[in-house]
Chains A and B, each alone.
Chain A
Amino acid sequence: RKEVEQDPGPFNVPEGATVAFNCTYSNSASQSFFWYRQDCRKEPKLLMSVYSSGNEDGRFTAQLNRASQYISLLIRDSKLSDSATYLCAVIPGFQKLVFGTGTRLLVSP
């Protein structure tokens, strides 16, 4: 089983839609969780950390479910500019960040 798993998509949604991605992780001792955004042929950029209590940043909401070992990202009121690949990343008890394969989002007019 991979340490971090994501549905690669693509998720095709119209502008204004709400879309959610999940990411599962295998190491129950994982302590730190993140969502990164990556545009085509660019470097990953930190979107938000994911805290146990859940956190929100504008249209983006991240949740952590330790019992089921997954994190989620919810995007409300999707914009064309949200089209990108969203990478889930976890520190699985060690010192390095492990990434999922990414979920591709396409927002259409």
Chain B
Amino acid sequence: DTGVSQDPRHKITKRGQNVTFRCDPISEHNRLYWYRQTLGQGPEFLTYFQNEAQLEKSRLLSDRFSAERPKGSFSTLEIQRTEQGDSAMYLCASSFRQGNEKLFFGSGTQLSVL
């Protein structure tokens, strides 16, 4: 499968715990995005990378969220001290910058904070 891969598919955690998600983009794509989606809403931008550089981070993103893309390939998204409001689908997408960006999404990680 040469699409965007995310792991795990589902994560259940208790409030206050830390969680980490992984995303493997399409291999030739140099841009990687993280979005969050809750029921009835569209995907909400969190952050994105071009190669290993984090170029933008949403102002809505609290300091408990951090993302890395250490070698410009896979990326991790960590949420520290999870809260019930963090429950959502976390979507990763990648694209190859060509001036008219088309994002390709992974299947997402569904996070439930109890």
Contacts and interface: CB of A to CB of B under 8 A. Distances in A.
Contact of B43 (A8, A44, A91, A94): A44
A34 B42 CA distance: 13
Contacts of B33: 96-97
A45, A96, A98: residue with the most chain B Cβ atoms closer than 10 Å: A96
B41 A101 contact: yes
Contacts of B106: 43
A46 B103 CA distance: 7
Contact of B42 (A45, A91, A95, A100): A100
Contacts of B55: 95
Contact of A95 (B44, B48, B91, B102): B48
Interface string A38-74: 0001111110010000000000000000000000000
B1 interface: no
B105 A97 contact: no
A8 B40 contact: yes
A25 interface: no
Given A43-B91, A43-B108, A97 B103 contact: yes
Contacts of A21: none
B80 interface: no
Contacts of B105: 43-45
B65 interface: no
Nearest to B102: A46
Contacts of B35: 99
Contacts of B42: 4, 6, 87, 99-102
A96 B45 contact: yes
Contact of B48 (A42, A87, A89, A96): A96
A32 interface: yes
B107 A49 contact: no
A23 to B, nearest CB: 10
Interface string B24-44: 000000000101000011111
Interface of A: 4, 6, 8, 32, 34, 41-46, 49, 87, 89, 91, 94-102
Interface of B: 33, 35, 40-45, 48, 55-56, 91, 100-108, 110
